[in-house]
Each structure stands twice: as structure tokens, then as C-alpha cells.
């Protein structure tokens, strides 16, 4: 059976009876992403997307942080962009991607349109998460390291599957939705550090949404779109990738969200900076390392991380999120990395930039660029040379917030409230938190949106 | 200078004073494409796109053959899909793509919205045509033969450039529009023979339109999106492709529409079938070859053609357009290939299918799969074995309708009127023909749309 058909059959027919731990994890993904949307809604990329699409008509779907309401696919576009605008939204390791930004943006728009419950939304989220994880296992690391920004390239078909599930498409329609979404799924990491990067998450949401609605209208597409000779595996990952057998083996077994979880980020910058930041903050907190004692910082990171972090000294805030020298210097000087680290003023500080000049980034030759994700776990080694010749060195494999070292619910709530406070529209953040955490069987998405439409 | 910037500067600043022959050729492209839109508007893919997007709001842009009016990007989506639904729309050799379907669909929507003249529209069309041709020269044949459907993958950035020109974006904005469009430009030839194929042309129109409007709103994107280490040349064409130097060399010189022209198609099926069809129709007309005398047909075609034509016996009309055995058998039996060749009834005829069984397609090993387009001109060799042992053989390099053997204006008008007659809404075809052919300086696009909104 072709992979689109396999995904379609599974997505249409798998049980809605998910383990409680999976549903709990999905709720945390949704609330964390809604926070990121509120925080990101005031960023330039998000505002410009809303300005643009608002010219094409109004609708009934909520844009978080905005009074304007849009047609559902455009609300998904705007909210998906906002969710990723600070690079603060969660990460799914095997996909090398941000799963919840596109999935949540599309599902909120659809759930509001069709007055769906949180239970239905969580179920559809888990379907999309699964498709994204299994596609990632089949295609990464080769796909990602070939330059594809998998938040869009894998996010669009995964979102199509999630939306198809929530609409209730049958197996064949779902397969067509996924196939169509592969035609709406470009996107290069060349865009990292530009407004186009968060826009990729918005496009994944919009495109997955549109693909599912097109399939619902009866549009059909090639079954071979994933695993054919010109399928996305062959065209964008190639022979170095594990291939689709892993999908056949794993789909229907332990859910990906249980196997992998989601890495909910502590710092609003590229995930590839987090391990070095953790190392430096730990040296500072635990070994008393002071910024003024630092002669040199050497960070040794994976190929994926080294190529993601291509800005030495940032010209703007977007680039700062992808500049390890900047992030490392700010961590050492400020003792924290948060939204205050990424402002036009913060990135121009002379002391930070002077220290950033003394940060080098090199590639860890031991980490493969194309094998399976599981064969090449990420790590970062950071060595600091101090005045007088002393050294500190740390290796970080599991960054803070990663499923193996998750943020506590208190830490998540602190992040959420800080994110919600950035919204231009005052929102009832506590009510949103409660709505998404409501007990099983309780609540509908449209009800929560009322707490988001609170005006100043 | 990076290629996006080079295109941006040229597209924003090149003279509007095009040679008369270029403008004439552009008019023929537009009218031929408008005919294809009207003819294709009744096809399932087009109707399903309109049904889907109509749920997301109304607007003022005309959908050809439809009473519903849509927001401009969705009208571009619908009209672009319709233009390509019969695979009857024109071809640009170096791009290995259909240029006018996405360009015309996007420009009509924008010109109607902003009440632009035909002169402005032709100017913008020529800008988009140029970008598509030069991108194609830089990336093909490798890009196309890697599986990319360049009507979308090159069509989206080319359309962004055309729309940017018509809006009047500056050089930097145009560069951003083109860069953004590369993130909206997936699409595999795996979709050939499905509804997704014409939808690719619609997506190119919609995406190019959206990218230009986003750039107008101030969205910026990576300058390196074409020629960077993770630019589309490296990611989708690779080292076998000629590369972007050809763009630097040619942009601003002889316009691509003068250098290459457009191949306006005589048969409503995959361009890769046209040379063999020409050969067989010529044998029939000039050598008296009769279908009942044919024992076997051997067609030897390029790698690109052989891989495009992957359906032996078609299961449906969409596949029939990509089945050389079917097209060849129909040509021999009917003595013509036109819209009547591609109906559910026609493709089930026993005599045609029996003859199709005796058609073989093999690859011409002498034609390279990855070099520059100009190094490997297409050709097809067709050998027919007759009862009694006689043979006919023809080699066709230039198919009918190709710029080197163009359709006469009478033949184009015959095609146009037949296409317009397929529209579900009666249209004033003569008035449309006249409007697009109006003398320089005369007429606005919105005026023509009145002739399209004629009801039964």
C-alpha cells in the first residue's frame, strides 16, 4: 500500500481512545502554542501577514491578538505565523520541525468554524503529530540537512491529515489531502533569520487546511506523492534517508507523542542555540563563571545546528535568534535568555557584541549529516577559556524543555502568562489556560476564543 | 549580486518599451490562455477548486465561466487551474513549463482589481515570462528531470515577479516577492495525470500573487533564496544544472519571448505526446497509413517525455492526456487529436484500446537527462510496422504549434472559439478576441471581463 493511502486509512480509522498521557501532552502543546501565538502576534511578520490577507475578505475565524476576523485558511496563516514568530514554539525531534504551530493554527480555525470540542481537537492534533513524526523518521536527517525547512515541508501534509481527521474525511479523501499538501510544501532553511521563516509555519497551516478542504470537495491526487519515484522522499531526502518502511512499521503502534514527546522551548530563539545556552547558563550559575572573565567561547555543534546558525553578528532581531555568538554572549552577560534578549536595543549592546566576537562555532565531525535521527542524537560541547588560563567545559545532550528534561507545569504557565501579556489585545490568560486544560469531555474551542477577544 | 536582487532590480526598472513583436507574442499568449481557461472551467479540477474557495468569501474578481466572483488570489487559483485543466495551454521550452497559465491568471485578477490597461498587463506578462525562462535556463534539464513540475516550482516566482511589476513594487520588494514565492513552489510531476496537475498552475498563480502582496506589505525574505547554499538551484537542480550565471548574462538582453517564443499547443494533452502525434498524423495524411494496417508502433522519446508519459492504458481522462499509447492510437484511428479525444466515452473505445496495446514507448538514450536545455533539443522517432512487413518512420523535432512552426492566427482563432464554446456561461468570444488584440494603448482588462460575464 502506498504511504498516502496508509496514512489516509490510519488517520480516518484509528481509535479516538488515546492514552490519557498522550491527551495531556497534546493539551500542553496546544496551550504552549496559543501562548506563542499571542506573544508573536505583535511581531512584524505576523502583522504584515494580517494586513495582507485582510484585503481579501473578512470571515468568522479569530486572529489571536487582533480584532479583525478572517476566513479560516487566512486565520490559520496568520496564527501559524504568529506562533512561530519568536521561535518559541515546540519542536518534534524526528521531524526536525515545529509541529504545534501549524497544527494548532489550522485546528483552531477549523474547530471555531465548525464548533468542535477540545476533545475532537486533541484527537486531530495527535493524528497530525503522528504523521509529522513518521514522515520525519522516514526522511530525516537527510531531508533537513538538504536544506528543507520541515516545519513547512512536513508540516503541510501533517496538517492536512489533522484537518482531514477533524472534518471527518474518509481514508481515500485523507490520502488525497496529504498528497495535495505535498504540492504546497516547499520552503528552504535559507529563510532562517528572515520573516519568511515564521511565515513558513503559517503557510503549513493554511496549506494543510486548504488541501483537506479541496479533498473534501472531491479533488484527488497521486497516491505515490510520498514514496513514488518522484515522491517527496526521493526528491527531497534521497537514498541516505531511512525511507518509508519505518512508517509501515510504526503507524498504529505506540503514538509518536508518547515515543518522542514535544520539546517545549525555554528560550525564544533557534533550537540549535539551546544546548550551548544551557551549558553557559549552567557554568555561570554552578561554577560562578562571570562574563568579564571570558576570553573565548568555543561551541562545537552538529552539522544541522552549525548550518542553522549562520549569522555571526546579527543585523536585526530575526537574525539574532539564529546567531549563536549573540545568544551565547547575551546568556553570559544577562544570566538569562528570554523575550528581552531579542529587542532592537538589546542586540546593539556593545558589551554583548564585544563578547560575541569571541565566540566560535564549529561542526562536530562525529555527528552524521544524513543518517536516521535516532542514530545521531544532538549534542553540543562548549569550552570557555578564562582569563588566567582556566577552562570550563560542558557537553549538553538534552536541552531544558526537551521531553527528557521537560519544563514543569509551573514553568510552562509562567511562560504562557508572559507570552499572553505581549498581546496587543488584553486577553483573559487565566481563562484560556483553564479552557485548554479543562477535563476530558468539557469545552469547545469557540468558547475559548471569547477570552481571546477581550479588548483593551 | 544575488539572483533575487538581480531579478528584482531588472523587474522594477526595465523599460516598458518592448519591441512590437514581443508585445504581439504576449497578446497571443494571453488570448490563447483565456481560451484554455474558458474551455477548462468546466473540468472537475476547476469546478472543485471554485467550490472549495467560494466557502472562504466573495470578492470582485471574475472566475471565467462562472457567475461567482472571488477575492483576487482565489480567482487566480481558479483561473490558473482552469487554464491548465486540458493541458492545452502554452509551453516555454527552457522552463519545461506552462508559463501563461499562472501568469495570465494572476495578472487578470490583479488588472481587474486595480483597473489596469492591457498595455500594463502585457508589460508585466513579459517580465514574468522572462524570469521563468531565465530560471529555467539556470536549472533545467536537471530540475525538471529530478521530478519538479516547473509550472509551479518556477511558475510561482515568475508570477511573483510579474505581479510585482504590475503593482509597481521597487527592486527590493520585488526581490522579496520572488524569494517568498520560492517558499510556495513545491510540486512534483508525480501528480501528472491527476487533478493536482492543473491545480499546480492555479497554485503558482495564487502563490505568486500572494507573495507579491506580502512583499508590498513589507515582508522581507532571504536574498539567497535562488543561488544560496540552500537556494532552489542547489536544492532542486544541483550541480548538473547550468546555474545562475546564464541569468546574469542574459537578463536585459534579447527578451526571452523573442529568443524562445511560446509553444501554443494544437492538442489538449501532455506536450510530450505532440511530436509522436505529429509523426503519426503525417504518416496517415501523407503516406496513407491506415489504422487497420498497423501491427506495431514504436515511439522513441527523450527521458523527460518517457517519464512524463507513465500511463500505458488510461483509467480516466486525466491519465489519457499522459498516455502515449492512447494518444497515438486515437490519432491513427480518428485522424485528429482534440477535445473530443478526451472524454470518458472516447477513452473506452475497444478499437482504440486494442491498437494502444501495440504501442511501445522507449527512451532515446542519446538525449541527456540533466544538461542544459539547448544542448539536448527534444525529438521523437516513431516507427510503424505494417501488415505485410512494410514500415513507416519519422523523426519529429519541432512539433506543430512550436515557435519554429507556429499555429497561424486563423488556427489560433479556431482553437479559441472552440475553447470559448465549452464555457458553461455563454461568452461573447469575438468581443474577447478583439479586446485582447486591441491596438496598443487601447483597452482595460476590466472591460473585457464584461464579455466574460454573459449569462445564458
pLDDT in tens, B48-93: 999 999 999 999 999 999 988 999 999 999 999 999 999 999 999 9
In eight-state DSSP terms, residue A321 is T
Average pLDDT over residues B291-310: 95
The partner residue sitting opposite B214, judged by closest CB among A49, A224, A307, is A49
B197 Cβ contact partners less than 8 Å away, ≥ 6 residues apart: B84, B87, B149, B191, B318
Q: Please tell me the distance from the alpha carbon of residue B335 to that of residue A98, in angstroms, as a whole number.
A: 56
Q: Return the residue in A45, A52, A232 with the most chain B beta carbons within 10 A, the one to mutate for interface testing.
A: A52
CB-CB under 8 Å, A183 with B191: yes
Q: Is the pLDDT of residue B456 over 60?
A: no
In eight-state DSSP terms, residue B223 is G
Per-residue model confidence as pLDDT tens for chain A (456 residues): 999 999 999 999 999 999 999 999 999 999 999 999 999 999 999 999 999 999 999 999 999 999 889 999 999 999 999 999 999 999 999 999 999 999 999 999 999 999 999 999 999 999 999 999 999 999 999 999 999 999 999 999 999 999 999 999 999 999 999 999 999 998 999 999 999 999 999 999 999 999 999 999 999 999 999 999 999 999 999 999 999 999 999 999 999 999 999 999 999 999 999 999 999 999 999 999 999 999 999 999 999 999 999 999 999 999 999 999 999 999 999 999 999 999 999 999 999 999 999 999 999 988 877 778 877 778 999 999 999 999 999 999 999 999 999 999 999 999 999 999 999 998 999 999 999 998 988 899 999 988 887 654
Chain B hits for A193, Cβ within 8 Å: 222
The partner residue sitting opposite A196, judged by closest CB among B186, B218, B222, is B222
The domains found in chain B, sorted by start residue, are 3-259 (1.10.4100.10), 271-396 (3.30.1330.120)
Q: Residue B409, SS3?
A: helix
From its phi and psi, is residue A441 left (phi > 0), alpha (psi between -120 and 50) or beta? left
A439 Cβ contact partners less than 8 Å away, ≥ 6 residues apart: none
Q: Return the residue in B78, B196, B197 with the most chain A beta carbons within 10 A, the one to mutate for interface testing.
A: B196
Chain B hits for A146, Cβ within 8 Å: 235
- Which pLDDT belongs to residue B455? 58
CA atoms within 13 A on the CB side of B195: 22
In eight-state DSSP terms, residue A385 is E
Q: How confident is the model at residue B35 (pLDDT cuts 50, 70, 90)?
A: very high
Nearest to A134 by CA among A31, A210, A248, A52: A248
Reduced 3-state DSSP string for A311-332:
CCCCCCHHHHCCCHHHHHHHHH
Q: Residue B403, SS3?
A: coil
Residue corresponding to grid cell 472559439: B417
Least confident span in B326-330, B339-343, B435-439 = B435-439
**Average of per-residue pLDDT values in chain A:** 96
Q: Return the residue in B183, B189, B206, B318 with the most chain A beta carbons within 10 A, the one to mutate for interface testing.
A: B183
The partner residue sitting opposite B48, judged by closest CB among A45, A153, A219, is A219
- Which pLDDT belongs to residue A150? 98
Distance from CA of B309 to the nearest CA of A (A): 13
Chain B hits for A219, Cβ within 8 Å: 45, 48-49, 52, 195-196, 199
Q: Please tell me the distance from the alpha carbon of residue A193 to that of residue A311, in angstroms, as a whole number.
A: 8
Please write the tens of the pLDDT for every residue from B145-200.
999 999 999 999 999 999 999 999 999 999 999 999 999 998 999 999 999 999 99
Distance from CA of B133 to the nearest CA of A (A): 21
Q: Please tell me the distance from the alpha carbon of residue A318 to that of residue A360, in angstroms, as a whole number.
A: 20
Chain B hits for A147, Cβ within 8 Å: 229-230, 234-235
CB-CB under 8 Å, A184 with B186: yes
Chain B's closest residue to A192, CA to CA, is: B222
The partner residue sitting opposite B230, judged by closest CB among A182, A188, A203, is A188
ipTM of the complex: 0.97
Q: Is the pLDDT of residue B299 over 50?
A: yes
Please write the tens of the pLDDT for every residue from B242-267.
999 999 999 999 999 999 999 999 99
Q: Residue A119, SS3?
A: helix
**Strand A391-396 to strand A380-386: parallel, antiparallel, or no bridges (unpaired)?**
antiparallel
Chain A hits for B214, Cβ within 8 Å: 48-49, 52, 199
Q: How confident is the model at residue B367 (pLDDT cuts 50, 70, 90)?
A: confident
Residue A5, φ and ψ in degrees, nearest 5: -65, -40
Residue A296 CA from chain centroid, whole number: 32
- Which pLDDT belongs to residue A456? 46
Distance from CA of A124 to the nearest CA of B (A): 21
Q: Please tell me the distance from the alpha carbon of residue A182 to that of residue B112, in angstroms, as a whole number.
A: 31
Distance from CA of B237 to the nearest CA of A (A): 10
Q: What percent of chain B is modeled with pLDDT above 90? A: 92
Q: Please tell me the distance from the alpha carbon of residue A268 to that of residue A86, in angstroms, as a whole number.
A: 5
Q: Residue B229, SS3?
A: coil
Nearest to A291 by CA among A235, A258, A329, A339: A329
C-alpha cell at A96: 526536525
Chain B hits for A220, Cβ within 8 Å: 194-196
CB-CB under 8 Å, B218 with A44: yes
- Which pLDDT belongs to residue A454? 67
The partner residue sitting opposite B217, judged by closest CB among A51, A210, A232, is A51
With the CA atoms of A344, A349, A354 and A357 taken in that order, what torsion angle do they form, in degrees rounded to the nearest 10?
A: -10
CB-CB under 8 Å, B184 with A203: yes
Average pLDDT over residues B94-122: 97
CB-CB under 8 Å, B230 with A147: yes
CB-CB under 8 Å, B186 with A219: no
Q: Return the residue in B71, B74, B78, B188 with the most chain A beta carbons within 10 A, the one to mutate for interface testing.
A: B188
Amino acid at each position: 500500500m502506498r504511504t498516502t493511502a496508509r496514512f489516509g486509512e490510519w488517520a480516518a480509522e484509528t481509535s479516538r481512545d488515546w492514552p490519557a498521557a498522550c491527551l495531556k501532552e497534546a493539551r500542553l502543546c496546544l496551550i504552549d502554542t496559543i501562548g506563542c501565538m499571542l506573544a508573536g502576534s505583535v511581531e512584524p511578520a505576523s502583522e504584515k501577514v494580517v494586513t495582507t490577507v485582510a484585503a481579501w475578505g473578512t470571515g468568522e475565524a479569530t486572529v489571536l491578538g487582533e480584532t479583525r476576523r478572517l476566513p479560516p485558511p487566512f486565520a490559520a496563516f496568520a496564527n501559524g505565523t504568529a506562533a512561530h514568530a519568536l521561535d518559541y514554539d515546540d519542536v518534534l525531534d524526528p521531524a526536525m520541525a515545529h509541529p504545534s504551530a501549524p497544527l494548532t493554527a489550522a485546528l483552531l480555525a477549523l474547530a471555531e468554524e465548525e464548533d468542535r470540542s477540545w476533545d475532537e481537537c486533541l484527537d486531530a492534533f495527535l493524528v497530525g503529530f503522528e504523521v509529522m513524526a513518521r514522515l520525519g523518521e522516514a526522511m530525516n536527517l537527510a531531508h533537513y540537512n538538504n536544506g528543507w525547512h520541515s516545519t513547512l515541508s512536513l508540516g503541510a501534509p501533517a496538517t492536512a491529515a489533522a484537518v482531514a481527521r477533524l472534518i471527518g474525511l474518509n481514508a481515500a479523501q485523507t490520502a488525497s489531502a496529504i498528497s495535495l499538501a505535498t504540492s504546497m510544501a516547499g520552503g528552504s532553511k535559507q529563510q532562517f533569520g528572515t520573516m519568511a521563516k515564521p511565515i513558513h509555519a503559517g503557510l503549513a497551516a493554511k496549506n494543510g487546511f486548504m488541501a483537506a478542504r479541496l479533498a473534501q470537495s472531491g479533488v484527488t491526487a497521486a497516491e505515490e506523492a510520498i514514496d513514488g519515484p518522484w515522491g517527496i522522499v526521493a526528491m527531497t531526502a534521497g537514498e541516505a534517508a531511512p525511507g518509508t518502511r519505518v512508517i509501515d512499521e510504526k503507524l498504529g503502534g505506540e503514538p509518536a507523542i508518547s515515543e518522542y514527546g514535544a520539546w517545549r522551548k525555554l528560550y525564544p530563539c533557534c533550537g540549535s542555540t539551546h544546548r550551548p545556552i544551557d551549558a553557559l547558563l549552567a557554568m555561570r550559575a554552578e561554577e560562578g563563571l562571570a562574563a568579564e572573565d571570558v576570553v573565548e567561547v568555543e561551541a562545537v555543534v552538529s552539522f544541522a545546528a552549525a548550518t542553522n546558525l549562520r549569522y555571526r553578528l546579527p543585523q536585526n532581531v530575526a537574525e539574532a535568534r539564529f546567531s549563536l555568538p549573540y545568544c551565547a554572549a547575551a546568556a553570559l552577560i544577562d544570566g538569562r535568555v528570554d523575550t528581552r534578549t531579542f529587542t532592537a536595543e538589546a542586540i546593539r549592546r556593545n558589551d554583548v557584541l564585544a563578547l560575541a566576537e569571541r565566540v566560535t562555532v564549529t561542526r562536530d565531525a562525529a555527528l552524521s549529516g544524513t543518517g536516521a535521527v535516532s542514530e545521531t542524537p544532538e549534542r553540543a560541547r562548549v569550552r570557555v577559556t578564562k582569563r588566567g588560563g582556566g577552562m570550563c567545559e560542558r557537553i549538553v545532550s538534552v536541552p531544558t524543555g526537551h521531553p527528557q528534561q521537560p519544563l514543569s507545569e509551573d514553568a510552562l504557565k509562567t511562560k504562557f502568562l508572559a507570552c499572553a501579556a505581549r498581546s496587543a489585545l488584553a486577553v483573559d490568560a487565566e481563562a484560556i489556560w483553564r479552557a485548554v486544560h479543562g477535563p476530558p469531555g468539557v469545552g469547545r474551542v469557540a468558547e475559548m476564543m471569547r477570552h481571546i477577544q477581550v479588548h483593551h
